[in-house]
Copies of this chain bind each other. A is one copy, B any other.
Amino acid sequence: MPFVSSSSSIERWLLHRILRVTGYPPLRLAMKDGVSVSSPGAAPVGTLVFQDRAALLNLVLHPEIGFGDGYSDGKIEVEGDLVALLEAAYRCWPGRSAEGWTTRLKSDWVERFKVNSARRSRSNVHHHYDLKTEFYERWLDNQLVYTCAYFPTPSITLEEAQTAKMDHVCRKLQLQPGETVVEAGCGWGALALHMAKHYGVRVKAFNLSHEQIVYARQQARQQGLDDQVEFIEDDYRNITGQFDVFASIGMLEHVGIRQYDALGKVIQRTIGKRGRGLLHFIGRNFPAPLSPWIRSRIFPGAYAPTLREAMQVLEPWDFTACDVENLRLHYAKTLDHWLARFERSASQISAMFDARFVRAWRLYLAGSLVAFRVGTLQLFQVTFAGRECTRIPWTRAHLYALAQSQEQGPKWMHAMS
């Protein structure tokens, strides 16, 4: 009995330590059928229950991997709402400011030595994007847009918001019928098809995911757009040809800082001094690697740059940053929709893969939602132009002409219909 008591003391000490290191979030930590501790102050928003001591030790030794794997394996269970619990934890996480130079240096160092070669990029992409399309169909919108949506008003549906996002991008780019667009990282092809269908442009769209390219080509044929849109299974570094417009939605975070110069060179080569373009990517306020769990289990090779770092793509080539919009709250909202749809399909997804997969993806979606909600992650849309580009809008009012009419109508209406 004294042995049990002493062992409980160690557990209690470790649980306390976790609360202290994480800034005393309003949570309860408990061993299954054993000791439990809570932060002082506000009532706990939820409880983390460790199923055994190994799960507890893993979390102490490797906090992020330990939590991610423990949760995925069912060794750490959450009582209460996962999103609320993660939000409470993120908000208390000790802040970071100018003194965190070591983090920055470490982050820089890690990134310097990690080169996403064409081969490694292919493997990274395969890891995430070559999962069965039926899986993504369970929880994305009906056009399979796997990037931040745009909600002119928060109450519209995910389908409407993804269409609104594509129109927002097309209007920022001021697409004109007959122009040519190159898209780097095109997912299942929704934006390329939307541009062709509603703005009358010709699009060449690149993607490394075989599964996605096959789906996109099928969509192009079905929609009778295969003479306007060409889907190419290849690396962005192999883009050739001349275009009026460059667009990349949700690719920069997979490129890696070491390749920003190569990406800039590709953009310069394809649109030259007269072209214009848009980069849409997950970013940060200050330089830091993504969570080790996300990097090892969900997105190998990913890095979310600060706006300063992202400008390294454009600055060497004399591109002008015309407009930068931060849509982080829209990504939180998007993830809210994705997570709700994911939960509704959880049992079918579990049958497709297994329960561990469901828990891992639930944590990834919930964690991302919270990161955008509290500002750990940002979403930047950067519109840029070459020095001799003549299609520079006088103001940004044209982007909001529709938002006005929408306030008068009952529903978000499509720009071009």
Task: List the interface of chain A (C-beta within 8 A of B).
Answer: 95-98, 151-154, 261, 264-265, 268, 273, 285-287, 306-308, 311-312, 315-326, 328-329, 374-375, 378, 380, 387, 392, 394-397, 399-401, 403-404
Contact A308 B318 (CB under 8 A): no
Q: Are A394 and B154 in contact (CB under 8 A)?
A: yes
CB A403 to nearest CB in B, in angstroms, measures 4
* A153 / chain B contacts, CB cutoff of 8 Å: 394
Q: How many copies does the complex hold?
A: 2
Q: Is the interface of A mostly helix, strand, loop or mixed?
A: mixed
**What's the minimum C-beta distance from A402 to chain B, rounded to whole angstroms?**
9
A387–B401 Cα gap in the complex (Å)?
A: 30
Of the residues B95, B265, B322, contact of A273 by C-beta under 8 Å: B95
Q: Write out the residue numbers on chain B whose beta carbons fall within 8 Å of the beta carbon of A380.
A: 321
Candidates B152, B319, B400; contact of A400 at CB < 8 Å: B400
Interface residue from B152, B318, B322 paired with A95 (Cβ < 8 Å):
B318
> Are B387's CB and A375's CB within 8 A?
yes
Please state if B326 and A325 are interface contacts (CB–CB under 8 Å): no
Contact A317 B378, beta carbon cutoff 8 Å: no
Please give, as numbers and ranges, the residues of chain B lying within 8 Å of A95 by CB-CB distance: 273, 318, 387
Please judge, given known A-B contacts A268-B97, A285-B315, whether A375 and B324 are in contact too, CB under 8 Å: no
17 A-B pairs in the complex with CB atoms less than 8 angstroms apart: A95-B273, A95-B318, A98-B265, A285-B318, A285-B387, A306-B311, A308-B311, A320-B326, A320-B375, A321-B324, A322-B326, A324-B324, A325-B396, A374-B387, A396-B400, A400-B400, A400-B403
Give A177 to B81 CA distance when docked, in angstroms: 38
Find out whether the CB atom of A98 lies under 8 angstroms from the CB atom of B392: no
Query: Chain B contacts of A319 at CB under 8 A?
Result: 285
User: Is the Cβ of A318 less than 8 Å from the Cβ of B286?
Assistant: yes
Separation of A400 and B97 alpha carbons in the complex (Å) = 34
Rounded to whole angstroms, the CA-CA distance of A392 and B328 in the bound complex is: 10
| CB–CB B97/A317 < 8 A | yes
Please measure, in the bound complex, the distance between the C-alpha atom of A315 and the C-alpha atom of B311, giving whole angstroms: 13
A319 to B318, CA, bound (A): 26
B315 touches A321 (CB 8 A): no
A308 with B316: in contact, given A321-B324, A323-B325, A329-B392 (CB under 8 Å)?
no
**Other 4 A-B pairs with CB < 8 A, given A306-B311, A320-B328, A320-B375:** A98-B264, A152-B397, A307-B311, A396-B399
Q: Is the CB of A403 within 8 A of B397?
A: yes
- Which of chain B's residues have a CB closer than 8 A to the CB of A308? 308, 311-312, 315
A152: chain B residues at CB < 8 Å are 395, 397
Complex CA distance for A319 and B374, rounded to whole angstroms: 13
Closest to A402 in B: B397
Cβ-closest chain B residue relative to A398: B400
Q: Which B-chain residue is minimally distant from A392 (CB atoms)?
A: B329
Give chain B residues whose Cβ lies under 8 Å from the Cβ of A374: 387
Residues in B whose Cβ lies below 8 Å from that of A320: 285, 326, 328, 375, 378
